[in-house]
Structure 1
Amino acid sequence: MGPLNYHHLRYFREVARQGHLGRAAERLNLSQSAMSIQIRQLEDRLGHKLFDRVGRRLDLTEAGRIALDHAERIFTAGEDLVATLNRTNTTNPPLRVGALSTLSRNFQLQFLRPALADNCDVSLRSGNTRTLLADLAALALDVVLTTEVPASDQGTDFAAQRLAEQPVQLHGQPERLRHGSLRALLETEPLILPTENTIRAGMDNLLARLQVNPRIAATVDDMAMVRLLAREGVGLAVAPAVVLADEIASGRIATAPFDLGIAEPFYAVTVPRQFPHPALASLLATGGVTPE
């Protein structure tokens, strides 16, 4: 079976809009018989009748309604393509953002807030670094938010802009923080550790230096879950304050007064593009993030 003929689809869409073969033929400067042949060829290609004749009017069948829905989307996408490449489109496409699954939701919101305030539609996808960078390289994403600079051997000219760096601290219910030293705190209270590489490596080094073998209550690959577990009193969250900003502001969670010597950087990763998303430049210029 051959590919779909989009001329047939265009003629079909006009007939569906007009509800009349003759008017559609007149609008497209075709004879009525030629238009009829085009519609019949499309029906043969799709294997379904697209119209029912009701008097002099042509009504769409169920298959016809489905075909019209797809046709409208196809031709709208084509019009958007031309407008985008000609820089004449007045409505921007969604900003497609990829975010590392362990990245703080609060951080993501801070970065996106200016775009959302400008009523920019946002498509947000989370995942692992390899998958997100592959999608970015394929132009399926406009930007990837992560905590690491991409390796230089990946074959793609990634550009990583450092947006912010925030200290990693211990956060938990206030009654869990009543210890006189960092060592006592780590020896006594269970920890909620994210799997994010910078934080995990920093904590491993710190624990080795202090010769402390703590109890790990949970190892989590989602910062939202780190936040929830800390809020429920499961243990102390090892994270930047931005992860628990709301709980800290309300007093439900407090921050231990000890410097861990660990900082988590935040990067926006892009690839060079001739037609970048219009909202991206201003987000990268401001960083979109105010460190806590």
Structure 2
Amino acid sequence: MLNYRHLHYFRTVAKTGAINRAAEKLHLAPQTLSGQISAFEERLGVALFRRSGRRLELTDAGRTALAYADEIFHVGAELEEALQNRLTARVHPFRVGIADAVPKVIAYQLLAPALALAEPLRLACKEGRLEQLAAELSIHRLDMVLADRPLPSNMDIKGYSHPLGECGIAFLAARPVADVLGAGFPDCLHAAPLLIPGEDSALRAPLLRWLERRSIQPAIVGEFDDSALMSAFGQAGAGVFPVPLTTVQEVMRQYQVTELGRTQEIRERFFAISVERRLSHPAVLAVSEAAQRRFQDAVL
């Protein structure tokens, strides 16, 4: 059986990166703590740390162990709180990973239905690269990942990509930029300053191919992993920027920008990635069902 005291010692050392600092926190002698960590590693049959100068670094096994340790102690804290009757109703966590390339407005639109469920839940959102979030999903630290592309087939992770919907693209710009470019979309994009998504975005490649097919050569002045940051630069007049059609009104209102034109030839797609082949988590089901209606009813 797992020794939870050893697990607590291991977690403290992993967080501090040094035996001495961890020993101070735990009110133990460094030699005692070092012996306890060695006993824990021997019990598990793997090395959890390797020395790097004066610091201790986690091995691959150590990183896996820390992820589980964090989850175990988090659940333990929830149990203690529930038993002390601090909660009037059981609040279930809904842990969602949001890939960097997913626009913030889209993320809100997709997740909002989960907050309207009769059973209370606590939404916990984490942003990051899809590969990193998928790894956390695989060890059940996340319930779902929102992404703009399916789970890559070359990843050694068991997961299922559930399509939420797709839409075309609009090109927006600050009013002074739009006035200079004039009418005649999409030809007005030729030589225009253009802001594009970063390399992690599934939209980037089809956008560039569409421009090439139409012999449009804009001046690409910026690349952004974060769509909100791209919109902020667009608001400041740095250039034209693309947004999914389902978010046009919200982005125009929030950033005081205007639409130059739109196309259905470029499609932005969104997925809910889960460890379930068939969705059963109530919050994930709510997200999926509402997304299907939203994309179907959108005026594109």
Scaled by the length of structure 2, the TM-score of the pair is 0.63
Residues 1:243 and 1:104: Cα distance change in structure 2 (over 3 Å) = farther
Which whole-Å CA distance do the structure 2 matches of 1:281 and 1:268 have between them?
Answer: 10
> Partner of 1:127 in structure 2?
128
Shift in CA distance, 4/203, structure 1 to aligned 2, threshold 3 Å: closer
1:273 CA drift (Å): 8.6
Could you say what secondary structure the match of 1:150 adopts? coil
Amino acid in the other structure paired with 1:252: Q
Partner SS state of residue 134, structure 2:
helix
Q: 1:127 to 1:248 in 2, by over 3 A?
A: same
Which residue in 1 is equivalent to 2:197? 194
What is the RMSD of the two structures over their aligned residues, measured on CA atoms?
3.5
Whichever residue aligns with residue 185 of structure 1, its letter is C
> C-alpha separation between the residues in 1 aligned to 2:153 and 2:5?
44
Q: For structure 2, which runs of at least 5 residues remain unmatched after alignment? A: 7-25, 30-72
Instruction: Provide the rounded CA distance (Å) in 2 between the counterparts of 1:109 and 1:102.
Output: 14
Shift of 1:158: 1.7
Q: Partner residue of 1:110?
A: 109
Q: Could you say which residue in structure 2 is the equivalent of 1:185?
A: 188
Q: Which residue of 2 aligns with 1:203?
A: 207
- The CA deviation at 1:170 is 0.8
What is the SS of the residue equivalent to 1:182? Answer: coil
The 5 Å alignment of 1:60-75 reads: none
The aligned residue for residue 55 of structure 1 is: none
Describe the SS at the equivalent of 1:201: helix
Residues 1-292 of structure 1 mapped to structure 2, 5 A cutoff: 47=28, 76-77=77-78, 91-118=90-117, 119-178=120-179, 179-195=182-198, 196-243=200-247, 245-249=249-253, 252-259=256-263, 261-272=265-276, 277-287=281-291, 290-291=294-295, 292=298
The DSSP-based 3-state class of the residue aligned with 1:167 is strand
- Superposed CA offset, 1:79-98 (max 9, x none): 6999xxxxxx9614311000
Render the CA deviation track for 1:118-163: whole Å, top value 9, x for unaligned: 4521110011111011111111100000011113343333221111
- Closer, same or farther in 2 for the Cα pair 1:273/1:214, shift >3 Å? closer
Match of 1:58?
none
Q: Which runs of 5+ in 1 are unaligned?
A: 7-44, 49-71, 83-88
Is 1:206–1:260's contact at 8 Å kept on the other side of the alignment? Answer: no
1:199, distance to aligned residue in structure 2 (A)? 1.8
Deviates more, 1:264-273 or 1:178-187: 178-187
Deviation at 1:204, TM superposition (A): 1.5
- 1:100/1:146 contact within 8 Å kept: yes
Bigger Rg, which one: 1
Report Cα offsets for 1:22-71 as digits up to 9, x if no partner: xxxxxxxxxxxxxxxxxxxxxxx9549xxxxxxxxxxxxxxxxxxxxxxx
CA distance in 1 between counterparts of 2:267 and 2:278 reads 34
* In structure 1, C-alpha distance between the alignment counterparts of 2:93 and 2:267, rounded to whole Å: 32
Q: Which letter maps to 1:161? A: H
Matched pairs, number: 223
Q: 1:246: how far off?
A: 2.8
CA distance in 2: counterparts of 1:173 and 1:74, whole angstroms: 48
Q: Which amino acid aligns with 1:142?
A: D
Q: From the superposition, tell whether residues 183 and 255 of structure 1 become closer, same or farther in structure 2 (CA, over 3 Å).
A: closer
Q: In structure 2, what residue type is equivalent to 1:109? A: Y
For 2:184 and 2:196, how far apart are their aligned partners in 1?
20
Alpha-carbon distance in structure 2 between the residues aligned to 1:150 and 1:74: 28
Q: Name the TM-score, length of structure 1 as normaliser.
A: 0.65
Q: State how far apart, in whole Å, the 1-side matches of 2:76 and 2:176 are.
A: 62
Are the counterparts in 2 of residues 143 and 270 from structure 1 also a CA contact under 8 Å?
A: yes
Contact 2:231 / 2:255 at 8 angstroms: preserved in 1? no
SS in 1 for 2:261: coil
Q: Structure 1 residues 287, 275: CA separation in 2 closer, same or farther (over 3 Å shift)?
A: closer
Displacement of 1:289 in angstroms is 6.8
Instruction: Output the CA distance in 1 between the equivalents of 2:121 and 2:105.
Output: 18
Letter of the 1:141 counterpart: L
Secondary structure at 1:287's aligned position in 2? helix
